[in-house]
Structure 1
Amino acid sequence: MCVAKPILIAVLAIVSIPAAHAQSLPGGFVYLRDIDPTIIQDIRYATSNNFTGHPLSGYGAGECVVKREVGLRLRAIQQELSGQNLSLKMFDCYRPVRASLDMVAWAQNGREPTAERRYNPKIAKTELFRLGYIASRSQHSTGAALDLTLVDLKADNSARYDPAKAYGDCTAPVEARAPEGSVDMGTGYDCTDARGHTAAPSITADQRAWRKRLVAAMARQGFVNYSKEWWHFSLPGAGGAAYDFPIQPRRN
């Protein structure tokens, strides 16, 4: 979700990109796939497999878009991990402002079906703003924030999410949770629960070791983790204005 840390530069740059010029990204943005195509991408807000149950506004393609400096640092991390049979897996990168406003509307719609409760089993969604899990202004919109995890390339990652299946909530054992094709970090992605806090004491030693491994790999390239979300990282100084251009398909 959104980290609730406020953006110091709150300028909103509204940019419209016609489909015919989808590659023309503003403000030093790039498609991560153009920097390193080996980094796995599962951009969840471009699908219905997320806490809102629908693709978010502005996600016209499941592509990770970032500031160039961010992409180059991710490539360096990926190169380090590849020697360990590991890979980064991106869940979210640049996020249009309109998508954050879509989250706001979702939180205020007065409905909490069972599928949504998988992500916030103990917290009413109207409380997610106050508790720092969602913000109407997100660092993601600057291109300097990321949601990601690690993939063990030697493991069987073939299980796929089935929207017709009733999965356990995001704090359940990994066998009962919706599959994410990644290592077991102790909770699923976007889990608004104390177990999702990076230093949560209630996870296993192996799960804690994976989290520390991810944090350490990201820190070596200057990324800082958000303590309430083991999956959320930002690169200080790489952001700036918040943007609202839609994510369009990348042309080959």
Structure 2
Amino acid sequence: MKIVVIGAAVIGLVSPAFAQKLPGDFAFLRDIDPTIIQDIRYASSNNFMGRPIAGYGAAECVVKRDVGLRLKAVQQELARQKLSLKMFDCYRPSRAVADMVAWSKNGAETAAERRYNPAFSKADLFRLGYIATHSGHSTGAALDLTLVDLTADNSAKFDPAKDYADCTAPVAARAPEGSVDMGTGYDCSDAKGHTAAGSITPAQRRWRTRLVAAMAGQGFVNYSKEWWHFSLPGAGGRAYDFQIVSRRN
């Protein structure tokens, strides 16, 4: 698949009078492609820390402009297959990374937290490479995402009062994510979450392969320990720490 170059005019879909101004060459993904589904989990309690994470003042996907344009091209290709991207995390403020580091060292280990790392202690997440002390997300060039089958029933919602099975359990037992079954839930710190894990079903492997291929068509590279994590080489740069805010004033 060839890289599609899209004119910068598509970015100006929202009047400057109504859109929040972002630093540098960042943009709200909704302003580039509003059809891409967003479920920014770190702005909610539905994540491995069980609460909104520092810096996430709004559930918005913020990206470098070139990253957003390439995501739009991926989305256009997927739409022909009745599929959609679903964003879990995009730009991540440096303060959020610091919040994750502090969380990993707080000595607590709740049942909700264990759903995301059932095989080992959360204190090992950084040592094992599941969370980085300096994240590519903070440059605006890294993303966490999945696929949604637009022909399926995606209506099941996360219930914080429900006792779900851990992220490696069969899809019917773990927390719903409104997306295809990739073999684990998002942010599952487990060998089963490795992109090439041998413990998943053929159908789950086909979905992972499909996602990796779709993203690779626009130059994105997958992180081998997380089927959901992709980055765009050369699009990064320095880390930022501006707060994620609502795209409307």
Q: Which has the higher contact order (CA 8 A, sep 6+)?
A: 1
User: Pick from 42, 46, 49: which aligns with 1:45?
Assistant: 42
Q: Which residue matches 2:235?
A: 238
Q: Which residue matches 2:10?
A: none
Q: Which residue matches 2:188?
A: 191
Distance in 1, matches of 2:117 and 2:160, equals 18
Distance in 2, matches of 1:194 and 1:136, equals 20
User: Pick from 145, 156, 167: which aligns with 1:148?
Assistant: 145
The 8 Å contact of residues 195 and 202 in structure 1, kept in 2 or not, is answered as: yes
Distance in 2, matches of 1:140 and 1:22, equals 22
Q: Which residue matches 1:125?
A: 122
Q: Is 206-215 or 127-136 further displaced after alignment?
A: 127-136
- Correspondence 1:205-244 to 2 at 5 A: 205-244=202-241
1:134-193 deviations in whole A, cap 9, x for unaligned? 112100000000000000000000000000000000000000000000000000000000
Distance in 1, matches of 2:86 and 2:168, equals 20
User: Pick from 94, 97, 117: which aligns with 1:97?
Assistant: 94
Distance in 2, matches of 1:212 and 1:30, equals 28
Q: Which residue matches 1:3?
A: none
What is the TM-score of this pair, normalised by structure 1? Answer: 0.91
Aligned length: 233
1:111-140 deviations in whole A, cap 9, x for unaligned? 001010000000101111110011121000
Which SS does the other structure have where 1:233 is aligned? strand
Runs of 4 or more above 2 Å deviation: none
Matched, 1:111 2:111: no
Matched, 1:169 2:155: no
Distance in 1, matches of 2:132 and 2:206, equals 29
Alpha-carbon distance, 1:217 to partner: 0.2
Alpha-carbon distance, 1:68 to partner: 0.1
Matched, 1:135 2:132: yes
Q: Which residue matches 1:33?
A: 30
Distance in 2, matches of 1:22 and 1:228, equals 36
Distance in 2, matches of 1:90 and 1:208, equals 20
Alpha-carbon distance, 1:24 to partner: 1.4
Alpha-carbon distance, 1:22 to partner: 7.2
User: Pick from 65, 74, 77: which aligns with 1:77?
Assistant: 74
Instruction: Report the AA paired with residue 149 of structure 1.
Output: T
Identity %: 78
Q: Which residue matches 2:245?
A: 248
Instruction: Report the AA paired with residue 209 of structure 1.
Output: R
Instruction: Report the AA paired with residue 212 of structure 2.
Output: V
Distance in 2, matches of 1:182 and 1:116, equals 21
Alpha-carbon distance, 1:27 to partner: 1.5
Distance in 2, matches of 1:21 and 1:178, equals 36
The 8 Å contact of residues 18 and 248 in structure 2, kept in 1 or not, is answered as: no
Distance in 2, matches of 1:21 and 1:156, equals 34
Structure 1 unaligned residues grouped into runs of 5+:
1-19
